[in-house]
Amino acid sequence: MEWDRETDVIVVGYGGAGGMAAIAAHDAGASVLILEKMSQEGGTTRTSGGRMRIVLDPERAVDFYNKICEGTTPRDLLQTYVYEGLKVPEWIRALGGEVEESVDGPHHYPLHLEPDIAGADSISPNRHRVKGPFGSKEKSGGGGANLITLLVKNVTQRKIEVLLDTPATKLITNEEGGVIGLEARHKGNPLRIKAKRGVILTCGGFSANPAMLLEYVGQNYYLPYCNPGNTGDGIHMVMEIGADLWHMSAVVAGFGYKVPDYDYPVPHKMPLPGYVYVDQKAKRFMNETGVDSHLMWTQVFYWDVRTCSYPRVPCFVIFDADTFGAGPIATTLRGKIGDVYQWSEDNQPELERGWIAQAETIDLLAKKIEVSPETLQETISRYNMSCIGGYDPEFNRTLQTLSPVMRPPFYAMRLFPCVLNTQGGARRNARAQVLNVHGNPIPRLYSAGEFGSLFHRFYIGAGNVRECIVFGRIAGQNAAAETPWK
């Protein structure tokens, strides 16, 4: 076979998992080449908060992850994730970085409320993030960009070669089905690269591929927060050589706003609990403050079979003057994935642009957003009565979050479920080997990160980045340890 070039290990995708895998393979003595499809490295990792849950009791944490993965992920893989994950701060220090503990603010907004299941208290509500110039430990965002900055520095120091604008397109196998190289396109030109020891797929999920989202996750989403390069290429490549897939129905999606002239959604976040969500019929449909923000998609995944439509997409957030005046109703992404709108501190510019609907009465607000005024009035009155009574019979909001929507003027915005990332991809084992449909490792093929994540549908945040680091490292070391083929 004719090759354009050769190396020991090829890493496909230069986000958090790819950067970590490349460094580990290099440090284990292999020559490494990283291929990145986009013209900038970082992937979705760069846009992320980069937060990693702090484990307090490892064995119970394994039970907890087993539960939330619905038993789909083997226990030895979860043990590797949890126990190796304890060493992440040490590894980050070895790369010249530092982790810091980030702290959540008060739970006015349903961010990372722990589900009431066994083992949940084995994980701290606080998380680790890589320290650096982006974001701060008090605010979400920025930790992913700090991690990428650290990884890029280490990759550069090691003189690991990186080819940007180079999507991998096809894996090349030998007669035994082992992966011996791949085909790619470098700036539009075909490239055939031999991998003497192995190939590591760290090419992310399919959040930027609407057709795959509809096919595998079963819902239409508004434009993703993720890297536009995450279009599921790895899935097609491994299907072609007989890999098994897993966690394809798993998605991480919160609520966001669609604002004119910007390609990316603005993440929704309320400064006070004085708000409700209503569907297109102006009715509440969920405990607004009781669902983890990563799982909001589960609440709007309701299909009206009579009209063949999603009556909760979009839905609306309704709030009053107290909540409006308490601070921004959105957060700003710090990932520089595109032209992301920078939300103001007081919501005024957004109000003046007409993005936030405002009216002196609930009746007028309903007319503005084109829902039934009678129903919206009734919904808000019933909710306010629950606040006065201290009990929410419909959706069981906690007492601390039962703040009325009472003081005019009233406000509304449309909400869409927006994808952060998917979890589906090739099934892998605890050694980061990709498995075929018979459960056997495909020789010389490894993977890490959200491409075939260990997580299934029930995801409560701050898990993926640690997975990138742990399995990126394992994949890199194991690929480097393969005997070179001639």
Ligand X SMILES: Cc1cc2nc3c(=O)[nH]c(=O)nc-3n(C[C@H](O)[C@H](O)[C@H](O)COP(=O)(O)OP(=O)(O)OC[C@H]3O[C@@H](n4cnc5c(N)ncnc54)[C@H](O)[C@@H]3O)c2cc1C
For ligand X, the binding residues (CB under 6 A) are 12-18, 35-38, 43-45, 47-51, 144, 167-168, 202-204, 225-227, 229-230, 233, 333, 420-421, 449-451, 462-465, 468
Report helix, strand and coil shares of the chain as percent, to nearest 5: 30, 25, 50
111 vs 313 by CB, closer to ligand X = 111
The number of beta carbons lying within 10 Å of the beta carbon of residue 229 is 22
266 vs 371 by CB, closer to ligand X = 266
Q: How far is the CB of 439 from ligand X (least distance, A)?
A: 23
Dist. CA 125–CA 441, nearest whole Å: 36
Q: How far is the CB of 420 from ligand X (least distance, A)?
A: 4
For residue 19, which phi and psi values (nearest 5 degrees)? -60, -45
Cβ 328 vs Cβ 282: under 8 Å: no
Task: Select the residue whose beta carbon is closest to ligand X and give its number.
Answer: 15
The total number of residues shown for the chain amounts to 486
Query: In whole angstroms, how far apart are CA 22 and each of 96, 130, 201, 418?
Result: 16, 19, 11, 31
Q: How far is the CB of 421 from ligand X (least distance, A)?
A: 4
Q: How far is the CB of 437 from ligand X (least distance, A)?
A: 22
Q: How far is the CB of 52 from ligand X (least distance, A)?
A: 6
Dist. CA 21–CA 446, nearest whole Å: 10
For residue 385, which phi and psi values (nearest 5 degrees)? -65, -40
167 vs 274 by CB, closer to ligand X = 167
Q: How far is the CB of 464 from ligand X (least distance, A)?
A: 3
44 vs 122 by CB, closer to ligand X = 44
146 vs 289 by CB, closer to ligand X = 146
Q: How far is the CB of 219 from ligand X (least distance, A)?
A: 17
Cβ 34 vs Cβ 14: under 8 Å: yes
Dist. CA 216–CA 260, nearest whole Å: 29
- Tokens 């900055």, residue located: 149
48 vs 403 by CB, closer to ligand X = 48
Q: Any residues with CB less than 8 A from the CB of 290 and at least 6 apart, and which?
A: 110, 113, 395, 396, 397, 398, 401
Helices 464-480 & 75-85, crossing angle to 10 degrees? 100
Q: How far is the CB of 48 from ligand X (least distance, A)?
A: 3
22 vs 462 by CB, closer to ligand X = 462
Dist. CA 442–CA 420, nearest whole Å: 29
The number of beta carbons lying within 10 Å of the beta carbon of residue 261 is 7
298 vs 377 by CB, closer to ligand X = 298
131 vs 283 by CB, closer to ligand X = 131
Q: Which tokens in the block code for residue 421? A: 């990332």
Q: How far is the CB of 13 from ligand X (least distance, A)?
A: 3
- Tokens 């009053």, residue located: 320
